[in-house]
Amino acid sequence: SQKIEQNSEALNIQEGKTATLTCNYTNYSPAYLQWYRQDPGRGPVFLLLIRENEKEKRKERLKVTFDTTLKQSLFHITASQPADSATYLCALEYAGGTSYGKLTFGQGTILTVHP
Amino acid sequence: GAVVSQHPSRVICKSGTSVKIECRSLDFQATTMFWYRQFPKQSLMLMATSNEGSKATYEQGVEKDKFLINHASLTLSTLTVTSAHPEDSSFYICSAPRGYSPTDTQYFGPGTRLTVL
């Protein structure tokens, strides 16, 4: 079965630095890889989606890369702020009728940005 | 923006009772909704897909007779945990994609914290 590993359970960085989070998966590559933010006691909030044929996606201070050869996605937050502190989840979505919308989540990385 | 709500946000019940959780898409219609469960310090695990007008489909290992799902309308799905036991205590989250394309954004509800005594 598919396994997803987000390398760090926790990541601590200083404000202003770039946070880099890793998501690795086994088996076959998903059609879409997504990143979500989850605050304590809340549901996930969508951040970015990248397709299997895309190498990189950006949105404001966020950047996602997707390497299907390495079976890895990197998620970057530049100029990090304490408000970026949260749990970040990667999620895989596969193509195909019965797979539509179904997400397989990694266990998350707890990011703490220190002032 | 699109909003998905859940009710209640928190529920405490006695072992053996049934609990109903509602998931609503507030400003869009969702023919499909998803129910996830999240245990402390663990990730979200997909339980089932709720389909408007047809039966829900359950992931392997999820008991359909214990977790009853009803997609009553294009904006409402309910999850009923029947004969709840302490091991059912968890954070239940629903989601709904806004559209029919795999790249349409999925909106998650705020979650329901279930505690079974």
Task: Name the residue facing A49 among B46, B103, B107 (closest C-beta).
Answer: B103
pLDDT exceeds cutoff 90 at B15: yes
d(C-alpha A103, C-alpha A92), whole Å: 5
Question: pLDDT value at position B2?
Answer: 63
Question: pLDDT value at position A27?
Answer: 79
CB contact under 8 A, A44 and B108: yes
Question: pLDDT value at position B13?
Answer: 96
Q: What confidence tier does A31 reach under pLDDT thresholds 50, 70, 90?
A: confident
Residues 6+ apart with CB under 8 A from B73: B52
CB contact under 8 A, A105 and B44: yes
CB contact under 8 A, B44 and A32: no
CB contact under 8 A, B97 and A45: no
CB atoms under 10 Å from CB of B84, counted, come to: 22
Tell me which chain B residues have a C-beta less than 8 angstroms from the C-beta of A100. 32, 97, 102
CB contact under 8 A, B45 and A105: yes
Beta bridge partner(s), residue A12: A112
Q: What confidence tier does A2 reach under pLDDT thresholds 50, 70, 90?
A: confident
Residue ranges of chain B whose CB lies within 8 Å of a chain A CB: 4, 6, 32, 34, 42-46, 49, 57, 91, 93, 95, 97, 102-103, 105-111, 113
- Per-residue pLDDT reduced to its tens digit, A41-66: 999 999 999 998 999 999 999 999 99
- Per-residue pLDDT reduced to its tens digit, A3-30: 889 977 899 999 999 999 999 998 778 8
- Contact between A47 and A59 (Cβ < 8 Å): yes
pLDDT exceeds cutoff 80 at B23: yes
